[in-house]
Structure 1
């Protein structure tokens, strides 16, 4: 039985830059930082000589059920990998993180003004489970895709979310 999602992770090229971006631009909260330089980590990731800098983040005011965080950012400071030219969402193995927001239009404008690279402005969802809502894709400093999704006012009300 799978009980829940523990966390999601992105490998980043510069942990300091990424922590600043995810906290100051996206609005997540830094929970913990650590260096992982041990045999267990190298065995777990399957990369000889790996040394990792790890930052754990959470959504302010939200408490994950089984963890202190919902997102890990990991920089391989030793045994560094390469950076692909792009991370298109149709590339096999590429993932994205979707966040529920209550202020998509204002957030889009604020983040765009701060220089965030958006793939698209908020688009109305016209079919499927999230019909009536809005969504957009953006990129973090390493090109990882983040989705912002705002539920329709009816669905938000059913879930107890107040839209801005």
Structure 2
């Protein structure tokens, strides 16, 4: 029997980030990363219970665009945090910036964010900024005029 091929993916949808305090996180994602809020919904009912495994659960989700990418902030109440540092599963969101040095300098001036020192890895420069729940957000500058990572890694044919 032949192995079935891959499923058909139409396009990227969104990244969902679990947060402990939706208002604090919303202030960070809009005020620091420039999120353009598209929706803000209260969550409850059988669908939420099935997805979370929490009977009678309630939550709130706020979604918005950052750099043209949909990011959804999800608050479900008291949920344990992942340990910091390398781990399996989701590790970070990454956004490209035009000028990494200017971005780093602008974030250094803020007293409400934590950032790492810029480094170069595999030809691209990057650093991390952390949201209020210590979720890492990678900010990168691509070399050679590349605007996307596929342009960087897949040269024109």
Under TM normalisation by the shorter chain, which class is it? 0.7 to 0.9
2:154 aligned partner: none
2:81 aligned partner: 83
**Structure 1 segments of 4 or more deviating over 4 A?**
none
* Residue 55 (1) aligns with residue 62 (2): yes
CA RMSD of aligned residues (A): 2.2
Question: Do the aligned residues in 2 keep the contact of 1:87 with 1:94 (CA within 8 Å)?
Answer: no
Aligned mates of 2:102, 2:33 — CA distance in 1 = 13
Question: Do the aligned residues in 2 keep the contact of 1:19 with 1:30 (CA within 8 Å)?
Answer: no
Matched ranges for 1:67-146 at <5 A: 70-77=70-77, 80-84=78-82, 86-88=83-85, 90-115=86-111, 116-118=113-115, 120-125=116-121, 127=122, 131=123, 133-146=124-137
Aligned mates of 1:81, 1:156 — CA distance in 2 = 36
CA shift digits 1:96-148 (9 cap, x unpaired): 10111112111111112213211x222233x3xxx2x3111221110101000
Aligned mates of 2:20, 2:137 — CA distance in 1 = 17
Aligned mates of 1:94, 1:44 — CA distance in 2 = 18
Matched ranges for 1:150-161 at <5 A: 150-156=141-147
* Residue 148 (1) aligns with residue 139 (2): yes
Aligned mates of 1:139, 1:145 — CA distance in 2 = 5
- Give the count of matched residue pairs: 142
TM normalised by structure 2 equals: 0.80
